[in-house]
Amino acid sequence: MDVRQLEYFLAVVDHGGFNRAASALYLSQPSLSQAIRALERDLGSDLFHRIGRRAVLTDAGTALIAPAREAVRSLQLARASVESVHGLRGAGWTSRPRPHRPSSR
């Protein structure tokens, strides 16, 4: 399981189906379906009932929504934290102490 798969899963949930989610993610629908199938294999459970062109959440899919949102949010926060430190370093800040140089008096 990886964060990309969780983001894709949430996109299907939020957009109400694979086709709309694929369009929103700028992916082909088969690529999105393949990623969701891989996630389902990793978890050992179907996340959606595929009924014709519709995708309806299973109980396992419903149970995954909140933890998936939390995981994605946490990773976004981690990424933003690192980026903010990187931005500070670019402005002359450093997170490590500078070596002490004795004065030459």
Enumerate the domain spans of the chain.
3-90
Residues of the chain with pLDDT under 70: 88-105
Question: In whole angstroms, how far apart are CA 89 and each of 30, 76, 84?
Answer: 42, 20, 9
* pTM of this structure: 0.78
- Judged on CB neighbours under 10 Å (0-12, 13-18, 19+), 47 is buried
State residue 52's pLDDT score.
Answer: 81
Contact 31, 22 (CB under 8 A): yes
| Cross-strand bridge partners of residue 50 | 55
Contact 55, 25 (CB under 8 A): no
- Judged on CB neighbours under 10 Å (0-12, 13-18, 19+), 69 is middle
* CATH architecture, domain defined by 3-90: Orthogonal Bundle (1.10)
State residue 99's pLDDT score.
Answer: 53
Place of tokens 């929504």: 65
